[in-house]
Structure 1
């Protein structure tokens, strides 16, 4: 009720400039009757909005004129201050130029009334400083003691409060006269003080608008104000908005909407930040942009490759032919099978007429007959190397098969590249063991320590970029790299098992495959759930392929039932029947050069 009376008093003060004001304000006047109930109807709301529009019309407001006398009326209420700057027209009428008001802070509300009235004067003078500085004007107040305390001809009061002395010193920079006006005739400023504009609604951060307009203190304790306090020298106000340089400080209520506008066409993090830095700012703006993009499923499906995982070395085998790496190479339309011993880097290359599983097994039989069976064989996921025939061949000879992740040749780097110089010795020296051991050999350091030192150096140089190993849990929803073409670069998958330090077995749709951590990203989709993954069918009695990449644990092989048909020896593709050869040797004993040897009962290489 009191606020309505103050608003009607303001309109009554300028009623001579308002056309049909009595008719317009009739619904509001009915609320002030004693017998009427307080019901704010749509007619009251419409009358209130129309009255505010009338105050802003050119019939009421006038443009600032340096030739017309200038007045500034100030008043204070228990919770706000207000000021009106106006011109005295040639006919003696007072026409407003601008209005200003603000609420009082908790500390200012505890001021004495005389201090509140003085604060209203200081607020009005600072608010309209550009209009008042350098010309004569008249201060109007409804508090008579201020005529003496803040009068232009009065000295600075020595017995007044310290803040009153400071305000008196501020007013000494202006040329003014001060006049007293009764509260009944002071309705324009009185209404603004009782209907103040919220001080902080332009930024959403408490105190920013007030400090920007009235000056910042030497320090602030509120954490919410610290980002603004650091930039206080660069803050300015224009048309009710606070600007940091050329960027508008966005209130909290509008930030989410502007973020959605920035992200409308999914331009990515960098483009959104660049666009935002041209127009807007608020504390934590960059972080909110990053979170929005990381939570968008569309942006996640087409994002770039992640940072390369830290270098993870294969464990150096202590014995020759303990672990071998194989791969196929092509040069001038000729295929080659490349086999490298991981201990010595000894290289074996075989020309291949075709790269089928059967031909690969024939070559490996010949190689194993010369050097023996390795404990582990590492290869990629080529169809001839993961077929059932090749898997049964390895299982039958007690060889552990490790398949590296698809589309990640670095995991099988020993076979993908030529021998390197990590060991510091020639492959022949390590593989053939030609160097004789003497007492002086004890002076040399152990080879294993040198390899570990070289690997540590490589890891340090490789990981100098600050990359860290990303770890995923079993059952976690992830995105894996799509190498089969299509619009999406990253597709949905689910982690089934962690096979090694940087390899995982994942379920992608209806199939399972081994994936390197460089081809995996965490699932950050909002409002989406990964589809239920159905396990792929398992053929009964079919041996599984062990898929590991780094630091594989050596699993002792169980006794294998060997079938003694034939033995293949080098050169490749030359088959010798052991049983028939033995029969022929028995039929012609006079041709034997050496004593007869009984072959083993079970032999299958």
Structure 2
């Protein structure tokens, strides 16, 4: 306790010491002497240590299955200060395995970190399985574990015709959304399937359209997350008023290509809406005019039905020409 802790009383110091003692007593003491004593009492480890010192019997003569597991590791087994070692790791007897798990589990580092720690310090047959079971049985680890990744959401099936499978959601006021829906349905008609996210909105919409026959589906949260996140981020990033920002987002969304290679406007109306970026691209009229100019510039020579090549006459402003007049009071003549 430093002198700067002016408000730190003797009672606070007592509480801190009590917490430290409780933390230390959570795990039973475990040292080298206890490990040696328990290893000598363990029937499997004591047998293995005797075999390491005096030599292993033939494999077919050993009947203990637990000892056979160590016989497969005989090249890496050794004895150091009365304890059995497997490589650089100490072999833990069965009576101390639960204590060793508690000792490694201090800090709640997670299952994989416990396995890495065990690979460098301790060993017994089935170490990783015991670590997995201990980690799953820990209430604190289970309560605060990292959420598993969300499964991939299958895409919606492409409808066979436009305006038949309609997805919708509302951001602020569902009554305003109802009015807009009635306006859109007056222009395009009622869809065959209507996919809605909110159950409350579903009840209100169903009450207002009792005589319309269509199928209603509830949209799951993970299926709505992509478009909803894009929409919300666009509104946050925009410095325009909400209604103007919404219109700009919808304009760009109508123009973007989907996984099928077509934009939403192309799917619905069979033509691409014109946005600001389309002003940089040549329009269909310009393309047609360009093709016509190329054809007219190359049409110097033509071929008639008799495979006779003829020269197409080119006229300029001011050239003298003949005119054929067909009048009621004049005979057919050329001028």
1:523 corresponds in structure 2 to: none
Name the CA shift for 1:415/1:286 in 2 (closer, same or farther; >3 Å): same
Per the normalisation by structure 1, the TM-score is 0.30
Flag structure 1 segments of 5+ consecutive residues without an equivalent. Answer: 1-196, 330-354, 435-605
Flag structure 2 segments of 5+ consecutive residues without an equivalent. Answer: 1-36, 231-252, 272-335
Between the aligned partners of 2:157 and 2:70, the Cα distance in structure 1 is: 55
1:249 corresponds in structure 2 to: 91
Counterpart pick for 1:204 among 27, 40, 44: 44
Mark the structure with the bigger radius of gyration: 1
Secondary structure of the corresponding residue to residue 386 of structure 1: helix
1:402 corresponds in structure 2 to: 217
Between the aligned partners of 1:302 and 1:369, the Cα distance in structure 2 is: 51
Name the CA shift for 1:387/1:314 in 2 (closer, same or farther; >3 Å): closer
Per the normalisation by structure 2, the TM-score is 0.52
2:183 corresponds in structure 1 to: 366
Secondary structure of the corresponding residue to residue 201 of structure 2: coil
1:48 corresponds in structure 2 to: none
Q: Is the 8 A contact 2:83 2:91 kept in 1?
A: yes
- Structure ranking higher on relative contact order (CA contacts 8 Å, 6+ apart): 1
- The Cα of 1:263 is off from its aligned counterpart by 3.0
Between the aligned partners of 1:266 and 1:367, the Cα distance in structure 2 is: 56
Between the aligned partners of 2:226 and 2:39, the Cα distance in structure 1 is: 66
Give runs of ≥4 in structure 1 deviating > 6 Å. Answer: 197-200
Q: How many residues align?
A: 209
CA-to-aligned-CA distance 1:295-322 (integer Å, 9 cap, x gap): 2232211110113314422233223222
Matched, 1:291 2:106: no
- The Cα of 1:367 is off from its aligned counterpart by 0.8
2:154 corresponds in structure 1 to: 312
Name the CA shift for 1:317/1:216 in 2 (closer, same or farther; >3 Å): farther
**Which range moves more in the overlay, 208-217 or 355-364?**
208-217
Matched, 1:262 2:104: yes
CA-to-aligned-CA distance 1:487-506 (integer Å, 9 cap, x gap): xxxxxxxxxxxxxxxxxxxx
**Which range moves more in the overlay, 263-272 or 357-366?**
263-272
> What is the CA RMSD across the aligned residues, in angstroms?
3.5
Between the aligned partners of 2:46 and 2:206, the Cα distance in structure 1 is: 71
Between the aligned partners of 1:227 and 1:264, the Cα distance in structure 2 is: 29
Q: Is the 8 A contact 2:45 2:84 kept in 1?
A: no
Secondary structure of the corresponding residue to residue 283 of structure 1: coil
Counterpart pick for 1:281 among 98, 110, 123: 123
Which is richer in strand?
A: 1
Between the aligned partners of 1:317 and 1:271, the Cα distance in structure 2 is: 49
- The Cα of 1:234 is off from its aligned counterpart by 1.8
Between the aligned partners of 1:199 and 1:272, the Cα distance in structure 2 is: 23
Name the CA shift for 1:415/1:267 in 2 (closer, same or farther; >3 Å): closer
- The Cα of 1:366 is off from its aligned counterpart by 0.7
Q: Is the 8 A contact 1:203 1:252 kept in 2?
A: no
Which is richer in helix?
A: 2
Q: Is the 8 A contact 1:377 1:400 kept in 2?
A: yes
Name the CA shift for 1:376/1:415 in 2 (closer, same or farther; >3 Å): farther
